[in-house]
Structure 1
Amino acid sequence: MSILASTKSLWHRSMKHSSNGSVSESTETNSGQITLAVVGCGQRGQSYSRYALQEPGKCKVVTIAEPRPKTRARFTEAYSIDRTLVFETWQDLVAASAETLNTVGKRLADAVIVAVQDHMHVEVTLAFAAQGYHILCEKPMATSLDDCIRMEEAIRKANIIFGMGHVMRYSPYSQEIGEIIRSRSLGELVNIVQLEPVGYYHFAHSFVRGNWGNEGRSSFSLLTKCCHDIDIICHWLGPSTPSKVSSFGSLHHFKKSGKPAEAGNATRCLDCPIEQECPYSAKKIYLDPLAHGNTGWPIATIVDGLPDIENVNEALRNGPYGQCVYETDNDVCDHQVVNLEFSNGSTASFTMAAFTTLICSRQVRLHFTHGEIVGDMSKFTVSDFRKNSSRTHLPRNEGGGHGGGDLGLIRAFIEAVRTGRQDILGTDVSEVLRSHLTVFAAEESRLKGTVVDCVAYEKEARQRVAGDEGKEISAEAST
């Protein structure tokens, strides 16, 4: 059966006649249930999609695109997706949607979750925005500033709901802190100090051996790991905006010069004579936890299909996750600091470090004119100078990733789509772009050793993109 025939057949099966004989979408008559397309069924795609299983009356995954056959099959079964709407590539899904739009005037779903590799975000988002889908895009927005600007333009032109995977905004912890900031009960927020302790084996997994270890295949680590740290800082200090930024950092340890001499010529952990002494041993990170029954992160991410002993051993023997951390082609910073000045004179500093026991449990200090907040993503203590008092808050944790932030984001996105209200997400594409601009400006500072004027940096970038688009239009006209 052709893509067109199969999608038309499924579409008509999902339609039903109303009492006056007209045809309406079943999703529009099922208590506002929002239908979802998931592009990329890996860890992040699964994290957001899980909400459809928890709240089936609110949303349903109806179509997917995923290149890995075992992952695709497991996802299809878990979400009971009609196999005529299961695609190997996002291009196939877009093509099927285009045919359905041309023939019956309807999209395959209400919204798309974009959870593919970072460098693919821009092309996938532009394609689905052009068809009018509401979009939830995993962070970062894109891997180049110019592409981020193009995404903003496309989303505004399409007039769609847009959510960004800045999940830190949506945890009960962050939202409670935000309420205190907005209440001004501690006076004016003057300074923020935040630390992102990535975790020594998390960094080795994701940013040395993994998908984000090489800038050419992904992007720099401040963007891929910490763009939502910069975003939450900008959010808390808003409506003031970043005016100046400086940054310093490097790849300090995970390179050939850091390799112990005793490791000799070994390039894989399973062949290394000092594997037991190495904190970054792949055996310690993957095989040992698996032997104790852990089949979740990070073990599940290195195989297609079930993470059993046989599959994991195969991955460590032949794949990137079994490589010596000192013998890979990684080139991203393993430590970095960012200093920010805002338009109202407030300041912030941010540190990312690979070498920590804590894993992503951000440590933060917020300094106000009349008080202070000190937090660690699970609890925070509020000190009021005027009352000479301190109180510790324990926000609820609804489960899931990022202290409930994953759940908070997808819940807000579904409600925003259902009601047509972008404001439910607490941000829009232009604010998302602004925090990304700050991240790119910080990296510009690190590379050039200068303080970057954020306003001038944005102006220059927008002019560059406008100029490129003008050239493209001229070239098209000339042909």
Structure 2
Amino acid sequence: MERKKLKVAIAGLGHRGKDIYAYGTKKFPELVEVIAIADTDPERVKLVAEEFGICEEYCFSSAEEMIAHEKLADAMFICTQDRQHVRQAIPALEKGYDLLLEKPISPDLSECREIIKVAKRCGRKVLVSHVLRYTVFYQELKKLLDEKKIGEIISIQASENVGYWHQAHSFVRGNWNNSDVTSPMILQKCCHDMDILTWLTGKTCRKVSSFGSTSYFKPEKAKEGTPQRCTDGCPYQKECPYDAEKIYLPNREHGVPEEITKWFDLVLTLDPTEENIYEQLRKGPYGKCVFYSDNNVVDHQVVNMVMTDGTTINFTMCGFTHENARYTRIMGTEGEIVANMESNRIEIYRFGYEPEVIDITKLTSDFSGHGGGDLLMLKEFIHYALGDEVRTNTITTLEQSMESHFIAWAAEISRLQDGVAVTLDEIRGK
């Protein structure tokens, strides 16, 4: 007998909703089917509808319109902007949908508490997209730590290297450049890191302090004569690494790698011809000078954490790096581990023994989307919603995801108060 397929509705057809989740379902045709979509951009709706054969009746101009309709599917992917998540998720839960919810849950702590209550009351399943847990890289690292390969964990140094081009695209010019309308950087970008660090260690955070600022991407850093837009004849175009043409147009001198350009260009336009890209740079936010982009999120931040057992963690996020990668050094009572997600190597240095190296490229060939985590998480959610057996230690429920959010909120409170230490129980409400 043919098994039941999970029927899915997708709210939000941006990069995550369209390119990661919608097209990602094509990898699992025997398990899942996209049957309804919603987005405020009619061109995106039309494109995805044609690709998936979705009838006009199941195409909507907003998530709210789709949710107001009688229940259409088993599950809904909510891939809209940060401050829309909960106000769309709650009525969807009440309608009977299970949810794949983009992170962060919400920048509003009270909303997070409310959605947990509603999900419990409605008996629905919700998975938050903390995709790093699902990667082969972090699964291997977790196994080593659980096996006590380096004894008891004493201290961790972790780095989130955002990449100068990613910082400029997403957090200076792009959708997440202003925390007043989205989320603070430490929550929006780095709740991934807060989640992975607590999951890897199996520890709970007691206190946090943090420092950080918007140090470079602001008007006073612009050189004399710098225009508002890169396309307005900037005299510094050749020397500026943040010049829009170098980021969004391929084969430009000192430009970003072509695979990154292709990803970014699909954010600018559904038809990324050179003419269309130029048009977006002339008129849209991605052509603005990075010093005149109305952004307020930090471009660097450090977070110090002390866990309830006394373990310490130092985390650094920085937008001024040449690569987009995460590094982790874990120091234990019997050795240390150095894990580099860019090279996909985990180096193990047990005291008194020869070093060992795990080459993740020998364990998997899929490093697309967060080191392969996007598709692995999507598959796990599909099985979760279908009622199949899943890895309970990995899957990121609302309750499990909240710990990363608590730490991020505490860090932002501390940063805004010049590094004052914040006790986590104050944030958790205990």
Report TM bin, short chain: over 0.9
**1:348 pairs with 2:313:** yes
Structure 1: how far apart are the matches of 2:73 and 2:172?
Answer: 37
In the TM superposition, residue 345 of structure 1 has moved relative to its aligned partner by 1.2
Residue 114 in structure 1 maps to residue 78 in structure 2: yes
Q: Which residue of 2 aligns with 1:476?
A: none
Amino acid at match of 1:431: Q
Q: Once the 2 structures are TM-superposed, how far is the Cα of residue 387 of structure 1 from its aligned partner?
A: 2.9
User: In structure 2, what is the Cα distance between the partners aligned to 1:332 and 1:369?
Assistant: 38
Aligned-partner residue type, residue 326 of structure 1? F
2:289 aligns to what?
324
* 1:182 matches 2:154: no
Question: CA–CA distance in 2 between the matches of 1:43 and 1:376?
Answer: 26
Q: 2:42 aligns with which of 69, 73, 78?
A: 69
**TM-aligned CA deviation for residue 370 of structure 1:** 1.1
Instruction: Please give the secondary structure, in 1, of the residue aligned with 2:245.
Output: helix
Shift of 1:241: 0.7
* Corresponding residue SS for 1:331: coil
Partner of 2:222: 259
Q: Which letter maps to 1:288?
A: P
- What corresponds to 2:20 in structure 1? 47
Does residue 456 (structure 1) correspond to residue 418 (structure 2)? The answer is no
Distance 1:79 1:174 in 2: 33
2:32, 2:247 → 1: CA distance? 36
**1:168 maps to 2:132:** yes
Alignment partner, residue 367 of structure 1:
331
Q: What is the SS of the residue equivalent to 2:235?
A: coil
Q: Supply the AA of the counterpart residue of 1:39.
A: A
Give, in angstroms, the shift of residue 288 of structure 1.
3.5
Does the aligned pair in 1 maintain the 2:132–2:138 contact within 8 Å? yes
User: Within the alignment, does 1:278 sit opposite 2:250 as a pair?
Assistant: no
Report Cα offsets for 1:435-473 as digits up to 9, x if no partner: 10111011011111310010122117xxxxxxxxxxxxx
C-alpha distance in 2 between matches for 1:430 and 1:52: 26
Q: 1:427 — aligned with what?
A: 396
Q: State the shift of 1:265 in Å.
A: 4.9
Matched residue of 1:284: which SS? helix
Structure 1 residue 269 corresponds to structure 2 residue 241? no
Count of matched residue pairs:
418
The question of whether the paired residues in 2 share the 8 Å contact of 1:190 and 1:369 is answered with: yes
Rounded to whole Å, the distance in 2 between the matches of 1:164 and 1:440 is 17
Q: Deviations over 1:316-348 (max 9, x none)?
A: 111111111111110110000001111111111
Q: Quick check: 1:249 aligned with 2:212? A: yes
How many angstroms apart in 1 are the aligned matches of 2:25 and 2:290?
A: 38
Cα offset for 1:206? 0.5
Q: How does 1:181-260 map to 2 (within 5 A)?
A: 181-238=145-202, 240-260=203-223
Tell me if structure 2 keeps the 8 A contact 1:161–1:422: no
User: Does residue 1:410 correspond to 2:378, yes or no?
Assistant: yes
Return the match for 1:134 from 73, 77, 98.
Answer: 98
TM-score normalised by length of structure 2: 0.93
Describe the superposition over 1:377-421 as per-residue Cα deviations: whole angstroms up to 9, x where unpaired.
Answer: 122111222534322332424242011110111111111111266
1:33 is aligned to 2:5: yes
1:306-321 equivalence runs, <5 A: 306-321=271-286
Q: Which amino acid aligns with 1:385?
A: F
Post-superposition CA distance 1:413-432 (Å, at most 9, x none): 11111126675453321121
Partner residue of 1:301? 267
More helix by share: 1
CA distance in 1 between partners of 2:173 and 2:139 (Å): 34
2:413 to 414, 422, 444: 444
CA distance in 2, matches of 1:73, 1:459: 45
Render the CA deviation track for 1:123-165: whole Å, top value 9, x for unaligned.
1111111112111111111122222222222222222221111
TM-score by length of 1: 0.84
- Residues in 1 aligned to 2:95 and 2:143: alpha-carbon distance in whole angstroms: 37
Distance in structure 2 (CA, Å) of the matches to 1:158 and 1:235: 27
Q: Distance in 2 between matches of 1:257 and 1:192?
A: 36
Q: Which of the two has higher C-alpha Rg?
A: 1
The AA in structure 1 aligned to 2:243 is S
Q: Is the 8 A contact 1:173 1:396 kept in 2?
A: no
Give the SS at the match of 2:207: strand
Aligned twin of 1:6: none
Cα distance in 2 for residues equivalent to 1:397 and 1:146: 41
Does residue 56 of the first structure (1) align with residue 29 of the second (2)? yes
Check 1:397–1:139 CA distance in 2 against 1; reply closer, same or farther (3 A cut). farther
SS at match of 1:349: strand
The question of 1:123 aligning with 2:57 is answered no
The 1:333/1:422 distance shift into structure 2, 3 A limit, reads: same
Q: CA deviation at 1:30?
A: 4.1
CA deviation vs aligned residue, 1:335-368 (integer Å, no higher than 9, x gap): 0000111111111111000000011x10111112
Distance 1:289 1:432 in 2: 41
